[in-house]
Amino acid sequence: MEVKNKSAKSTQLKNMIIKCLYFDKAMSCAELSELFDKSIPSIAKAVNELIDEGFVIEQGYAPSSGGRRPLMYAINDSAMYILAIAMDQLSTRIQLVNLLNNPVSDFMMFELQLLNNEQALPTLVENINKYLCNSGIPKEKIAGIGIGMPGFINPIIGVNYTYLEAGDKTLTQYIADETGLPAYIDNDSSLIALAEQKFGIAKWQKEVMVINLGWGIGLGMIVNGEIFRGRNGFAGEFSHIPLSEDGALCACGKQGCLEAEASMLVVSRRAVDGLEQGRISSLKPIDGANPKQVGDAIMEAANNGDQFAIELFSDAGYKIGKALAILIHIMNPQAIVLSGRGAKVGKILLAPIQQALHKYCIPRLSQGTELLISELGFDAELVGAAVLVMENFDKEVKSQVVTA
């Protein structure tokens, strides 16, 4: 038992170093020693073992600061890979990435409707296995599967209470059993916030609200430098902030929710209706049954100056700004980040959002909150899915140490 315990502790330390270098790029043994409160010799031993195992590489010496320059160590980006999956209500994206979050295999995207679809989970697993087979990467080189998805999700036990019923198993257990890889799930908006915090425009910021502009309007909350989930993990249901008493009927059954007034799905439907009614636009007549096609076309048209498309996004942006005024009054964030699919038209949304904030928000509060547009954009959920795997990378070994 003692030998196993020592081995588990050694593996845990090495996994902690891998995880740290994944997030922080390059560090010295002294920095790792201070971070983990371990002696420099024990850190150096673990780092040398990781070099021998191919996980860590020497990156050269740090810039001179007057004394002896420390040797810096970085992650070997091809030591292992992560399968990142980003889902929304209508489609799913799969991408295998290395430890720098760069793609290493072809990107896969397929239509997958989640609502009222008993075959959604088997279809997802079938496509995951097909992708893994076509990638040519052996499973022992893959750290795990990270999946972002809509719905009420408990990431700790691996259950989605809204979509993807897995019978008598948890969702993560089902996917792991069917693919042979550890699987982790989380709400798409929480993962987008995680991506922005670790690798995006919200890095180093501690109080940030990240808005996921998609078919719905999600919210990932970074409070005191951590993702805030609330008591049951469901915090951030920004979509269902009520804007009016007699607005459009929302999928939740209530009237006047933000999602029913300003989501990408609503913008797409209004575009189709407007074109049918003869609105002048550079947009060609579009098949209204395919909201993804419509949404992409409207964003492209808006960025190219189409007045009708800009009008649609301006109306949505004003309503989003009205809801953000409520959020600012409650949370007093350092920054609000516009991320997700809709970040592509972030510059168009900024003006009407700011106009609504001027009207509905106390100036002292709104002036202290910076509005930012994500640089990760539509890729944020995929990055967040990869981050999710690495966030859990050292937990299995840690539990073995505690048990031992």
pLDDT in tens, 185-244: 999 999 999 999 999 999 888 999 999 998 889 999 999 999 898 877 778 888 888 888
Q: What is the average per-residue pLDDT within 322-337?
A: 94
Chain-wide mean pLDDT for the chain?
89
Distance of CA 84 to the CA centre of its chain: 10
CATH superfamily name and code, 202-375: ATPase, nucleotide binding domain (3.30.420.40)
Does 253 have pLDDT greater than 80? no
Does 324 have pLDDT greater than 60? yes
**Quick one: pLDDT band at residue 6, thresholds 50, 70, 90?**
low
Pairing mode of beta strands 142-149, 183-187: parallel
* pLDDT top residue among 275 and 81: 81
Could you state, in order of their start, the residue ranges of all structural domains in the chain?
2-75, 81-191+383-403, 202-375
Q: How far apart are CA 153 and CA 195, in angstroms?
A: 18
For residue 18, is it left (φ>0), alpha (ψ between -120 and 50) or beta? alpha
Closest CA to 257 of 303, 319, 339, 318: 319
Q: What is the average per-residue pLDDT within 111-138?
A: 95
Class of the CATH-defined domain 2-75: mainly alpha
Question: What pLDDT sits at residue 391?
Answer: 92
Does 286 have pLDDT greater than 50? yes
Per CATH, 2-75 and 202-375 having the same topology is answered no
Question: What pLDDT sits at residue 350?
Answer: 96
* CB-count burial class (<10 Å; 0-12, 13-18, 19+) for 242: middle
Strand order in the sheet with 56-61: 26-28, 71-75, 56-61
Architecture of domain 81-191+383-403: 2-Layer Sandwich (3.30)
Question: What pLDDT sits at residue 60?
Answer: 87
For residue 4, give both structure tokens: 């196993």
Q: How far apart are CA 111 and CA 124, in angstroms?
A: 10
Residues in a beta bridge with 211? 219, 338
* Amino acid, res. 395: K
